[in-house]
Amino acid sequence: MRMQTVLVGLILGSWVAAGARAAVASEELYRETWRPQFHFTAQKNWLNDPNGLVFYKGEYHLFFQHNPKGIKWGNMTWGHAVSTDLVHWTQLANAIVPDNLGTIFSGSAVVDFGNTAGFQKGDEKALVCIYTSAGKPFTQSIAYSTDRGRTFAKYEKNPVLGHIVGSNRDPKVVWHAPTKQWIMALFKDKNDFGFFSSPDLKVWTHLHDITATGCGECPDFFEMPVDGDRQRTRWVWTAANGQYLVGTFDGKKFTAQGGPHRVDWGGNFYAVQTFSDIPESDGRRIQITWMRGGKYPDMPFNQQMSFPCVLTLNKDPAEGIRMCRMPVREIETLYAKEHKWEGAALKPGENPLAGLSGDLFDICAELELGDAAEVGLKVRGEAVAYNVKDRKLSCLGKSAALDPAPGNRLALRVLVDRTSLEVFGNDGRVSMTSCFLPKPEERSLEIYAAGGAARIVSLKVYELRPAWPAAK
């Protein structure tokens, strides 16, 4: 959670033509012109960092930084929403509100399966939220629920970790089974982060610190298999901007093996967090980020979350172990109509998608680059372009290096919502998470090749239904 007041996206109305205002003002909740239709937004008012991502008894819990009193940043409170499928969300009552220790900044949540904190009263396991009390000074506190996250009580002896330095904040806590203890990663100051351990979530011992250049705030920490092999794992540490370290952890010290590395090159990717306690039978590591800086003129809400993505670790022959991101499979619950092409030539000036238009899509394309100088998609007037010579993927003013896949191929996946484009290149080796604000009437789609011909190996365009229950 950023200490200073966030000012992005607050000059409402400056991005819409005067003639469009009347159409925006009178629309129903969840059907507004600039309301994302399958990305989470608060029903109204300000939203930023995802907090306390945790799974328990069939429900994904998404807590989030929220101002219940206004459209701008302030009065930081933990908002709360739940979902059974990561797509359809129901916003609940605010979970944790400011108190005499300060406003409620970012943190994490866990299921205390072993009742280490002693909060469990009945059959339900305690959900424990670990958060920053943003008073003077900043400290770390906990709150717990014994009714599946519907109500929360704050621990009477808060804070559980006193002030260390600066505006230390954003505790991420995980259970380390081999040593039977809780581990906390905590932002300290500048590029410095600390690791702490606890047997009960109440008493914490400092383990060690790390410095990660170019990284700040909102750490995450988790173990993942390499190439899907659960017998060969690494620990991953991420910062707010999504940059990550891959290494080993023995219960006392995290040892990074190079980095930080970057996984997302988009313009609106911040405060990344992953879900805790996903069942082993599922095994996915699922990440959500705040799409910081989006514009939503004349809307009752401000800011949105990214679509949930699965993280994987893969061994690259040249670069070593690297992270990939791809949308969760549950996006398929929104598929309304499929359009597909296979084995078709793609020549300059041709557009197989000329007959399609809309504002909600999942586009999956695999192209043989042929002798084209550039290939790509144009979505609602914005290009997702791959420069073959430079080996760069570009979108909305940002670009990322991306080598062709074997067979001189390029795989593109693009999620299109009303105010965002999320682009995934070569099965998530590169992702680009970005907000945009197209003209409402601009709904065109295009796939193209320039400077030579390419070939469509496979192209699938799925029209999507809105996720909101209020939307038809």
Q: What is the DSSP string of 163-229?
A: --STT-EEEEEEEEGGGTEEEEEEEEETTEEEEEEESSSSS-EEEEEEE-TT--S--EEEEEEETTE
CATH classification at residue 57: 2.115.10.20
Question: Residue 350 and residue 25: Cα distance in Å, rounded?
Answer: 39
Question: Are 143 and 287 part of one and the same domain?
Answer: yes
For residues 323 and 313, is the Cβ–Cβ distance under 8 A?
A: yes
Question: Are 66 and 182 part of one and the same domain?
Answer: yes
Residue that is last in its domain, among 281, 296, 327:
327
Residue range 242-277, pLDDT digits in tens: 999 999 999 999 999 988 999 999 999 999 999 999
Residue 264 pLDDT: 98
Nearest to 358 by CA among 472, 462, 212: 462
Question: Residue 208 and residue 107: Cα distance in Å, rounded?
Answer: 19
Number of domains in the chain: 2
Residue 53 pLDDT: 98
- Domain membership flag for residue 1: no
Residue range 284-299, pLDDT digits in tens: 999 999 999 999 999 9
Q: Residue type for 29, please?
A: L
Question: Are 308 and 417 part of one and the same domain?
Answer: no
- Domain membership flag for residue 5: no
Question: Are 355 and 233 part of one and the same domain?
Answer: no
CATH classification at residue 372: 2.60.120.560
Question: Are 34 and 122 part of one and the same domain?
Answer: yes
Residues with a catalytic annotation lie at 49
- Domain membership flag for residue 12: no
Residue range 370-379, pLDDT digits in tens: 999 999 999 9
Question: Are 23 and 161 part of one and the same domain?
Answer: yes
- Domain membership flag for residue 237: yes
Nearest to 421 by CA among 344, 339, 327: 327
Supply the pTM of this predicted model: 0.93
Going by pLDDT thresholds of 50, 70 and 90, the confidence category of residue 7 is: very low
Residue that is last in its domain, among 275, 301, 327:
327
Question: Residue 447 and residue 396: Cα distance in Å, rounded?
Answer: 16
Residue range 108-119, pLDDT digits in tens: 999 999 999 999
Question: Residue 211 and residue 208: Cα distance in Å, rounded?
Answer: 11
Better pLDDT: 333 or 25 = 333
Question: What percentage of the chain carries pLDDT values higher than 70?
Answer: 94
- Domain membership flag for residue 28: yes
Question: Are 386 and 294 part of one and the same domain?
Answer: no
388: left (phi over 0), alpha (psi -120 to 50) or beta: alpha
Q: What is the CA radius of gyration of the chain?
A: 22
- Domain membership flag for residue 7: no
Question: Are 247 and 361 part of one and the same domain?
Answer: no
Q: Residue type for 117, please?
A: A
Nearest to 88 by CA among 18, 154, 51, 37: 37
- Domain membership flag for residue 3: no
| The pLDDT of residue 16 is above 50 | no
Question: Residue 252 and residue 256: Cα distance in Å, rounded?
Answer: 13
| The pLDDT of residue 456 is above 80 | yes
| The pLDDT of residue 15 is above 60 | no
Whole domain around residue 163: which residue ranges? 18-327
Question: Are 322 and 341 part of one and the same domain?
Answer: no
| The pLDDT of residue 25 is above 80 | no
| The pLDDT of residue 317 is above 90 | no
Question: Are 185 and 74 part of one and the same domain?
Answer: yes
Question: Are 144 and 249 part of one and the same domain?
Answer: yes
Question: What percentage of the chain carries pLDDT values higher than 90?
Answer: 92
Question: Are 417 and 274 part of one and the same domain?
Answer: no
Residue 470 pLDDT: 57
- Domain membership flag for residue 10: no
